[in-house]
Structure formats: structure tokens, C-alpha cells
Amino acid sequence: MGLGLAVALPPERAIWMLAFLPAWVLVAKLAGLYDADHRVMRHLTVDEAPVIFAWGVIGAVAASLLGGLTPAGSLSTGELALTAAIAIVADFILRVAARAAWRASTPRERALIVGEDSLAHAMRRKIVLFADLHMSAVEPGDYARGIDRVVLAHERIDAGEIAVISDLCHRQGAKLSLVSPLRGQATPHEISRLAELPVFEYLTSDVSRSTMMLKRVLDLIVGIPLAVLAAPLFPLIAVAIWLEDRGPILFAQQRAGFHGEPFRLLKFRTMHVGADSSLEDLLDELPEPMFKFRHDPRVTRVGRVLRRLSLDELPQIWNLLRGDMSLVGPRPEQLELVERYSPEHRFRLDVKPGLTGPMQVHGRGELTFEERLAVELDYVENLSMGRDLRILALTPVCVIRGTGAF
């Protein structure tokens, strides 16, 4: 915030305004920005973006109002906007850097996962998939180095047991988390409070038309500039593909779209020419209707690089602009695999497929079919613009890390 004032104002006015820095600190404290890392298991700055934005705007307005009581005077509209913008961007960057430094310099949190059923297994999988948790699961009996967090992951919850464990964790200085057994369609959309009673709120209505219209507007607002930015890469990628085996540049395939309607999906070709001839044999080997091989022998050398960086997906911008796909949604699946879906799997066809989606930011190819269905069901059941923006913000980081990209 001090940087924003120093850039937006002359030195003699900035000095007066810097006297009101405690007001910015107070707003941040009231907004919970200093307490988030102690309250939640996973600390992602992108989840704080709306609060950081509000903090920047409120802090700038407060500084302007207080400045009106001094010789510095109030901020003009331009100064107000510049101060808020610099404060928001600077705070976001500093938070990302501080958390990266903390993870690099601090030992992983030792977490004792209490439970032996599928819920406990799912929690252990999340520790493996999400490195940003900065956590390691404590093996039974390995308690000599202490326990930083206890994670209860039981299918059945006993209020009395939780109270006892909570008291024990408080006395030992350990954190306590409980993984809810309410998953899938049983997951509440929101938890509110009625006096001392926690109330689970569920969405039982369809996604509003206004949300779907805004989703389409976002597709075009982002898709058109994305097409312009990606255009210079197309000839370079095309030459690299052609030089390897002199085959076609693009690969087109029928995929299942909204409500299962087929559409022609475009990709840069990443496999050897004629790879489709062995598709039926590979499909017969699949234990689940999900097609992803870690070491697919049909993928070319150039194709592996393109897949690692997700550059093979760039031609799908055309599908996005046509309306076949959306920016965010479940990934479009092959028709042959969709035909193998059970009725409980078809929910993922209730929305348009996406260039990115919950699968891409929660492990990509590392996910099992069950895990993939779980994150996609959560997305479909709780679709919102806020969730789409969060997935879009996380996607570049996941592409750079390359987890599950093969």
C-alpha cells in the first residue's frame, strides 16, 4: 500500500498519506487476511483474491477520506484507482512469494490421518496430489518427531469423540481438521449458522440462465484475445510436427459435447500417423471408461512436449469460439468411452466440455476415474462464475508444474 501511495502521489502528499498505513492494516485484519493460514489446511492466494481486491479498494477509499482532513487532501479518482490497483497487485505478489519462501524453508507439516476407510485413503491421495499442502502423512507408530495436525477421516462422526480430540489437540498445540463424510451430491453448497447451530445449505435449483450467459460472455472475452496471442505459435508448432514424420498437422475427432451431442474437436497431432488403428485394442484393455496412458507408445517426441505444456490443445480455441466448448468444464471425452458410461457417470454431459476444468487443476492424468468423477461432480453441482475464475487462475500454475501431463 505504501508503494501505491508513493507512485500515485507527489512526495509531499505521499508522506501525509503514509501516516494512515495503520488503517490499511486494520482493514486487512478485519478481512481475515492475517488469519487465513491458521484457519485452513490449504493456503492458496488465488482463494483470497476477492478479499484482497476489496481490501485494496476499501483501504484506498479510507486513505482518501482521512487525507481530506490533512494538507494532503483527498485522492482524485485517478489517484484512488492507481493506489488501489498497485496495492492489490503488490499484496497478491508478496503473498505468493511469502508462501513460496515459507514452503522452501519450513519442514512439511506432519499430519496424523485417523481412519482406515475410503475417506482416509482419499485424504492421503490429496497429500500426494497437492504439493502446496506442504504436508506429509505420519505412519502409525512414527510419533517421535511429533504431530502438527490431526486429520479425522471417518465415514461416521461422533460429536463426543471430536470434542475429546479437539481438547487434546489444543493442549498439545496441534491443529485439528475433519474431512466431512458428506461428498458428491451430499456436499453442502454453504455452511451457515443459526445461533449456535451449523446449517448445511444445498442448491436444489438449476444453474440460472444469467450465469450461463455470463459464462458464454467470458468465453468470448477471454477466447478472442487468447486466439490472437496464440496465433504466432501455430506455424512454429505446425513446422515441428511436420518435420518429425511429415504427417498431418491437425487431428480431428468426434467428441461428446453438451448433453452428449457429438462435435468435431481439433488438436495438434501428438501421435504417430495411423495411431487410431490400435484404438479398439487399447480400449478393450481399459478397466474404466477413461483414456489416459502414462507411457502411450503412439505419442511422438514432439507430441510429448506439446502435451507437457498443453500446447496441443490450442486449436480448441476454435471450438471455444464456435460454442462447442467453454473455457471451463469437464474435458470432452471420446464417443466410444461415453458409450461405456453408466447412468451415474452421465452427469458430466450436463454442461459444455471445457478447455480446462476441475480435473486439470486437481491432478490431471494422475487422477483415478473415481477421483476424476468426484471433482467433476462437485464442479457440475456447484457451478458458478467464481469457481470458473478460480480454475482459470490455477490453470497456468498447473500447466507449468506439469503434474499428470502425459
**pLDDT per residue as tens digits for the range 159-170:** 888 999 999 999
Per-residue pLDDT in tens (0 to 9) along the chain, 406 residues: 555 555 666 777 777 777 888 888 888 888 888 887 777 888 888 889 999 999 999 988 888 888 888 887 888 888 888 888 988 999 999 999 999 899 999 999 999 999 888 899 999 999 998 888 999 999 877 887 889 999 999 888 888 889 999 999 999 889 999 998 887 777 888 888 888 888 988 877 777 788 889 999 999 999 999 999 999 999 999 999 999 888 899 999 999 999 889 999 999 999 888 766 655 555 555 556 566 666 677 888 998 899 888 899 999 999 999 999 999 999 998 888 888 888 878 888 889 999 999 998 988 878 888 888 888 888 988 888 989 999 999 998 888 877 666 5
- pTM given for the model: 0.80
Distance of alpha carbon 118 from alpha carbon 129, whole angstroms = 16
Distance of alpha carbon 388 from alpha carbon 393, whole angstroms = 9
The residue assigned the cell 487476511 is: 33
The residue assigned the cell 458428491 is: 184
CB-count burial class (<10 Å; 0-12, 13-18, 19+) for 297: exposed
The predicted pLDDT at position 404 comes to: 60
Helix, strand, coil share of the chain (percent; to 5)? 55, 15, 30
The predicted pLDDT at position 320 comes to: 96
Amino acid at 54: A
Contact 352, 325 (CB under 8 A): yes
Q: 393 by DSSP, 3-state: which?
A: helix
The predicted pLDDT at position 257 comes to: 92
